[in-house]
């Protein structure tokens, strides 16, 4: 049984990946500083898998603290999620983002090197692509970022790739996520944003339960089928399974490889809203407002490389994403289980 270190394993994608790893027979260890997550996530993972995952509260940028974890366990591979991820905040506090996200990546690589661990899966993002000028994004599409968060992903990819090139046996897979949404089908883990959600699905679920009056649809005059923005939403469980597939690939293939994880299908804001209303039997009041600065009109993933190399493809539908996101939102608030109980 392989032991996998998960940095940032208490977060939204990290926690779902931890569960899928355990289902696939791996033995995960989580390190997380809990700066944007809760210790309660460990209980959620345990309730699903019936196992307690070893957990260390530490900052990955703290090399000595991280080295102690490497010294205590025989680690076969690492999945690196730890990092700040709020686009807006990254524009206000760029140094905060560059210091944290880049120092974490470098501290981790040095630690892996010291302890002879050569296999890494990195949590990157489609945000590294120049999506203002391209719609179908392949791994070869021109890259350009519009905010410091994006640049930290771009630069971390470069640092990892340069480092791996110096180690003949080392391997890394840079997973470029499209828009992860939804939650584990149990409703025991999910996305828990701090404050007002900046991303679409958490905002929609908060409107659905009455925490917010209405959704603002940012832009209704884009050159898209219905005028609202188009993205490639992917169920977080599918995304998590992509990490399991990437670990297996990296074991057999030295070198560094970037791989998109998306469905390949573009969905508009309005299509997501109407699907959410239909499958959950709940109204989502909305108004069309101005475009959000920096938003691209439309993009989605080319998924061929993930299929060919990782033998992975997304299986869950937009309906599954909307249903599970709502289920998680209600369950985490302790609301009645029947989604038809509340209609507005």
Q: Which is nearer to ligand UD1, 213 or 338 (CB)?
A: 213
Candidates 217, 234, 256, 261; binder of ligand UD1 (CB under 6 A) is 217
Position of tokens 């949404």? 181
Candidates 9, 83, 229, 264; binder of ligand UD1 (CB under 6 A) is 229
Stretch that binds ligand UD1, among 3-11, 64-72, 210-218, 311-319 (CB under 6 A): 210-218
Q: How far apart are the first and last CA of the chain?
A: 49
Stretch that binds ligand UD1, among 14-22, 116-124, 193-201, 329-337 (CB under 6 A): 193-201
Q: Which is nearer to ligand UD1, 42 or 217 (CB)?
A: 217
| CA count, 13 A, side-chain hemisphere, 274 | 6
Under rule CB under 6 A, residue 186 binds ligand UD1 = no
Quickly count: other Cβ atoms within 10 Å of residue 35's Cβ: 12
Q: Which residue is nearest to ligand UD1 (CB)?
A: 229
Is 259 in contact with 123 (CB distance < 8 Å)?
no
Quickly count: other Cβ atoms within 10 Å of residue 176's Cβ: 25
Under rule CB under 6 A, residue 148 binds ligand UD1 = no
H-type alpha helices, 148-268:
148-164, 200-208, 236-252
Minimum distance between the CB of residue 203 and ligand UD1, rounded to whole angstroms? 4
In terms of DSSP bridges, do strands 255-261 and 77-80 run parallel, antiparallel, or are they unpaired? unpaired
249 an active-site residue?
A: no
Helix or strand or coil: residue 319?
helix
Candidates 15, 100, 127, 156; binder of ligand UD1 (CB under 6 A) is 127
Phi and psi at residue 48, in whole multiples of 5°? -80, -45
Candidates 114, 294, 315, 343; binder of ligand UD1 (CB under 6 A) is 294
Under rule CB under 6 A, residue 206 binds ligand UD1 = no
Instruction: Give the integer Cα–Cα distance in Å for 98 and 104.
Output: 10
Looking at residue 220, the DSSP 8-state letter turns out to be S
Q: Which is nearer to ligand UD1, 161 or 199 (CB)?
A: 199
Candidates 21, 172, 207, 269; binder of ligand UD1 (CB under 6 A) is 269
Minimum distance between the CB of residue 179 and ligand UD1, rounded to whole angstroms? 5
Under rule CB under 6 A, residue 295 binds ligand UD1 = yes
Under rule CB under 6 A, residue 200 binds ligand UD1 = yes
Candidates 40, 214, 292, 344; binder of ligand UD1 (CB under 6 A) is 292
Stretch that binds ligand UD1, among 45-53, 192-200, 301-309, 332-340 (CB under 6 A): 192-200
Q: Which is nearer to ligand UD1, 107 or 179 (CB)?
A: 179
Minimum distance between the CB of residue 121 and ligand UD1, rounded to whole angstroms? 17
Q: Which of 26, 129, 149, 233 is catalytic?
A: 149
69-88: contacts with ligand UD1 (CB under 6 A): 87
The count of residues interacting with ligand UD1 (CB under 6 A) is 19
Q: Which is nearer to ligand UD1, 203 or 249 (CB)?
A: 203
Contacting residues for 205 by C-beta, under 8 A, at least 6 apart: 325, 326, 328, 329
The contacts found for 63-69 with CB under 8 angstroms, 24 or more apart, are 63/107, 63/110, 63/111, 66/31, 66/107, 66/108, 66/111, 67/111, 67/114, 67/115, 69/5, 69/29, 69/31
Is 225 in contact with 270 (CB distance < 8 Å)?
no
Instruction: Give the integer Cα–Cα distance in Å for 53 and 22.
Output: 9
Binding residues (CB under 6 A) for ligand UD1: these are 87, 125, 127, 150, 179, 198-200, 203, 215-218, 229, 231, 269, 292, 294-295
């Amino acid at each position: 049984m392989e032991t996998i270190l998960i940095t940032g394993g208490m977060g939204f994608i990290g926690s779902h990946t931890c569960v899928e790893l355990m289902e696939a027979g791996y033995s995960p260890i989580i390190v997380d500083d809990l700066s944007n997550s809760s210790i309660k996530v460990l209980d959620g993972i345990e309730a699903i898998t019936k196992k307690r995952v070893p957990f260390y509260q530490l900052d990955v940028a703290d090399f000595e603290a991280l080295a102690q974890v490497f010294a205590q366990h025989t680690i076969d591979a690492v999945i690196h999620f730890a990092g700040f991820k709020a686009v807006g905040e990254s524009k206000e506090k760029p140094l905060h983002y560059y210091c944290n996200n880049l120092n974490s990546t470098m501290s981790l690589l040095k630690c892996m090197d010291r302890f002879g661990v050569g296999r890494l899966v990195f949590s990157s993002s489609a945000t590294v692509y120049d999506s203002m000028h391209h719609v179908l994004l392949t791994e070869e599409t021109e890259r350009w970022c519009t905010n410091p968060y994006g640049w930290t992903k771009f630069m971390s990819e470069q640092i990892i790739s340069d480092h791996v090139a110096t180690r003949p046996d080392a391997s890394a897979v840079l997973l470029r996520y499209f828009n992860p949404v939804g939650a584990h089908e149990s409703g025991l883990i999910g996305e828990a944003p701090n404050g007002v959600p900046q991303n679409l699905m958490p905002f929609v679920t908060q409107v659905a339960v009455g925490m917010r009056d209405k959704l603002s649809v940012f832009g209704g005059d884009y050159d898209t089928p219905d005028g609202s923005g188009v993205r490639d939403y992917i169920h977080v469980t599918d995304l998590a399974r992509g990490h399991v597939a990437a670990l297996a690939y990296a074991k057999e293939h030295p070198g560094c490889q970037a791989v998109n994880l998306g469905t390949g299908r573009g969905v508009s804001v309005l299509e997501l809203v109407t699907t959410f209303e239909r499958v959950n039997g709940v109204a989502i009041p909305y108004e069309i407002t101005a475009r959000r600065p920096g938003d691209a009109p439309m993009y989605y993933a080319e998924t061929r490389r993930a299929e060919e190399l990782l033998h992975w493809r997304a299986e869950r539908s937009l309906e599954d994403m909307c249903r599970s996101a709502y289920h998680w939102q209600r369950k985490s608030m302790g609301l009645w289980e029947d989604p038809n109980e509340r209609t507005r």
